[in-house]
Amino acid sequence: KRAKEAREQRCQQTVLSELLPKLEGVETVAVGLSRNAPREFLHELARRSRGRGSVTEKAADLPQLFAEIHAQNSGARVAAAESSAISVDKLVASLDLVVVAPRDVELEILQPDGAPLSFDSPTLYYVRAERYRFFHLPKPAAGTWTVKPSKPLPDSAISAIQNYDLGLRLEVPQQVAVGQPIEVKAFLAAGEGGGMPEESFLARHRFVVEAKGEGIERKVELAAGEGGARVGKIATQKPGSVVLRARVEPGPAGALTRVAAPVTVLAVPPLKLAAPGPLQVGAVKPGTSVQALLDLRPSEFLGDVELKLQAEGLPFEIEPRKLKLTLEQKRFDLEIEVPEEATPGQIKGALMLVPLTAPYENREGGRIEVEATILPLTFWEKHGGKTTFGLVVLLLGFVVAGFKPPSRFPRKLRVFYVDKPNDDEGDYGLALRAKPGFYRPATLKIGGGGPIRRSSPLLCELVARDGGVELRPAQGRSATAGDESHTRPFKPVYGTKYELDEGLVVWVGKEDEDE
């Protein structure tokens, strides 16, 4: 007997210490079919594997026992029939009903609306055996279903398994900084984007997350959050991967068991952005650009980090405005552009490095000091462009004007002038050959004493215009020829006499060709 007990102890120890670890977390169900079965061993096996250990010596207990095992494995619920009444939740995907009864016992199943269930329904899977009846109902109506046997049955004769179409989903960040907690959200919902159970249903269950990684191994029970979520936090202490496993367990009056797929969160060290010294821009003039080397080799980080560059206290434009810092790329060429209006002198400011990549976003990045000298511009550097442009325009003006002949009077033009205030006085006609001007319109002024007589009041002007002549009466004067009177500039008709004042007449003619 002692040898038998020793052999059993060795076998049990082999199972616990050697075989069970090889299963790598697989849930184990062990059933002892004798009153002498090793209960402590079965319970320890179930505890270590998060499975189930049971002992029974009655064959009548097996249907209920296997129903409970099936329910636990599938995340279903074994609903105890109270007075043959079974309460079905609205999120139940299918209902499995087992009734242990002899063949001579007839059954009637009433739906929540009181109508009897037809055993010939095409959606019903029904098995009638010698000692039991089995019903599989897809998408049963929510409410109370009632089993009515033709003869009384013991309490354990009816077992109902509710299969829920619910899945457990875990939401966690991909990365967190060491020392920062991992914020966990768990959702129990019907499929992707499906409905969620009511809070009264969720409250009957426990949501647990187990974390295992570098310097951490703990279990956290999640609390109720907004929108039916279950939330919690798990602190991190060392860099490395943290594996999270979430599960739903039945609480008081609970029915569901679910396990979410494990997820991995990377705990990274705090971000440290640094350079060997200030960023040396050197001497630069307004309106120019230079290159500067940004060296971030002293930085400490894990994984790729995208950075945004911001100038603080610097009259510069810096390109590029974003960088990707990697373990292989830590040195960057920057283009520094100084605007034309920058004030000369010594410049001291900072280049702010703002992280954009999780988990470093919205956190303080790095500050790199910047030193530069803005040199003053010489007169020619400051105004040379405008001066050169003005000189070119002026030169072009002279060139164009030099090749364009000035306006001038026709070669043989003659201006006649007669001043005869009294009829008994003789004619004093004057004939003048008009001369062209130089880089201006040729102009001949006529006054009361004759042409080009500045001492006399101006009566009119004769101006060379487009190869002809334009007569311009002086302000307040007019040039009259018969019924025609002009107070504004006009082209005189050759040979037509225009009276400018009483007895004073002017007309335009030409020399004879043979003169």
Q: How far apart are CA 473 and CA 434, in angstroms?
A: 18
Same domain as 443, residue 352 = no
More confident residue, 220 or 364: 220
Same domain as 302, residue 262 = no
- Lowest mean pLDDT of 172-186, 263-277, 423-437, 476-490, name the range: 423-437
Percent of the chain with pLDDT over 70: 82
Task: Point out the domain boundary residue: 9, 39, 57.
Answer: 57
The confidence score (pLDDT) of residue 453 equals 47
* pLDDT exceeds cutoff 60 at 410: yes
* pLDDT exceeds cutoff 70 at 236: yes
Q: How far apart are CA 88 and CA 73, in angstroms?
A: 19
In this prediction, residues 14-42 reach a mean pLDDT of 80
Task: Point out the domain boundary residue: 268, 295, 328.
Answer: 268
* pLDDT exceeds cutoff 50 at 439: no
* pLDDT exceeds cutoff 50 at 386: yes
Same domain as 432, residue 345 = no
- Lowest mean pLDDT of 267-271, 379-383, 449-453, name the range: 449-453
The confidence score (pLDDT) of residue 432 equals 60
The confidence score (pLDDT) of residue 514 equals 38
In this prediction, residues 299-314 reach a mean pLDDT of 83
More confident residue, 398 or 38: 38
Query: How many CB atoms are located within 10 Å of the residue 502 CB?
Result: 9
CATH code of the domain containing 478? 2.60.200.20
Contact indicator for 90, 143 with CB cutoff of 8 Å: no
The confidence score (pLDDT) of residue 494 equals 86
Contact indicator for 62, 68 with CB cutoff of 8 Å: no
Residue 121 covered by a domain: no
Mean pLDDT of the chain: 80
Residue 161 covered by a domain: no
Residue 233 covered by a domain: yes
At residue 338 the predicted structure's pLDDT band, cuts being 50, 70 and 90, is confident
* pLDDT exceeds cutoff 70 at 213: yes
- Model confidence pLDDT, tens digit, residues 92-134: 888 888 888 888 889 999 999 999 999 988 889 988 888 888 8
Q: Which of 476, 480, 477, 475 is nearest to 492 (CA)?
A: 480
Domain of residue 10: give its range: 1-57
DSSP labels for 116-171? BPPTT-TT-EEEE-SSEEEEEEESPPSEEEEEEESS---GGGEEEEEEE--EEEEE
Q: Give just the sign of the alpha carbon dihedral 217, 219, 224, 229.
A: positive
Query: How many CB atoms are located within 10 Å of the residue 242 CB?
Result: 22
Contact indicator for 494, 509 with CB cutoff of 8 Å: yes
Residue 395 covered by a domain: no
Place of tokens 């279950």: 230
φ/ψ region of 222 (left if φ > 0, alpha if ψ in -120 to 50, else beta) reads beta
Task: Point out the domain boundary residue: 321, 350, 374.
Answer: 374
Same domain as 240, residue 299 = no
Same domain as 290, residue 252 = no
Residue 399 covered by a domain: no
- Lowest mean pLDDT of 109-113, 211-215, 501-505, name the range: 501-505
Same domain as 297, residue 242 = no
In this prediction, residues 229-246 reach a mean pLDDT of 90
Q: Which residues pair with 158 in a beta bridge?
A: 99
Residue 80 covered by a domain: no
Contact indicator for 298, 208 with CB cutoff of 8 Å: no
The confidence score (pLDDT) of residue 263 equals 94
Rg from Cα positions in the chain: 54
In this prediction, residues 29-50 reach a mean pLDDT of 81
Contact indicator for 145, 159 with CB cutoff of 8 Å: no
Same domain as 369, residue 299 = yes
Q: Which of 506, 427, 425 is nearest to 459 (CA)?
A: 506
Same domain as 286, residue 263 = no
Q: Which of 113, 235, 109, 247 is nearest to 167 (CA)?
A: 247
H or E element that contains 177: strand 175-177
* pLDDT exceeds cutoff 60 at 83: no
The confidence score (pLDDT) of residue 117 equals 92
At residue 332 the predicted structure's pLDDT band, cuts being 50, 70 and 90, is very high
498 contact partners, CB below 8 Å, separation of at least 6: 471, 479, 480, 481, 486, 492, 505, 506, 507
Same domain as 503, residue 421 = yes
Specify the pTM: 0.40
At residue 429 the predicted structure's pLDDT band, cuts being 50, 70 and 90, is low
Q: Tokens for 298?
A: 């002293």
- Model confidence pLDDT, tens digit, residues 144-160: 999 988 888 876 788 88
- In degrees, rounded to 5, the angle at the alpha carbon of residue 457 between the alpha carbons of residues 456 and 462 is 95
H or E element that contains 80: strand 76-80
Same domain as 171, residue 261 = yes
* pLDDT exceeds cutoff 60 at 422: no
H or E element that contains 20: helix 20-22
Same domain as 297, residue 216 = no
Give me the number of domains the chain comprises: 4
More confident residue, 184 or 35: 184
Same domain as 337, residue 247 = no
Half-sphere exposure of 325 (CA within 13 A, CB side): 30
For 103, counting Cβ atoms within 10 Å of its Cβ (0-12 exposed, 13-18 middle, 19+ buried), the class is exposed
- Lowest mean pLDDT of 68-72, 257-261, 321-325, name the range: 68-72
DSSP labels for 283-341? EE-TT-EEEEEEE-TT-B-SS-EEEEEEEES---EEE-SEEEE-SS--EEEEEEE--TT
Residue 94 covered by a domain: no
The confidence score (pLDDT) of residue 402 equals 56
CATH code of the domain containing 215? 2.60.40.10
Residue 346 covered by a domain: yes
The confidence score (pLDDT) of residue 450 equals 61
Most confident segment among 74-88, 183-197, 206-220, 331-345: 206-220
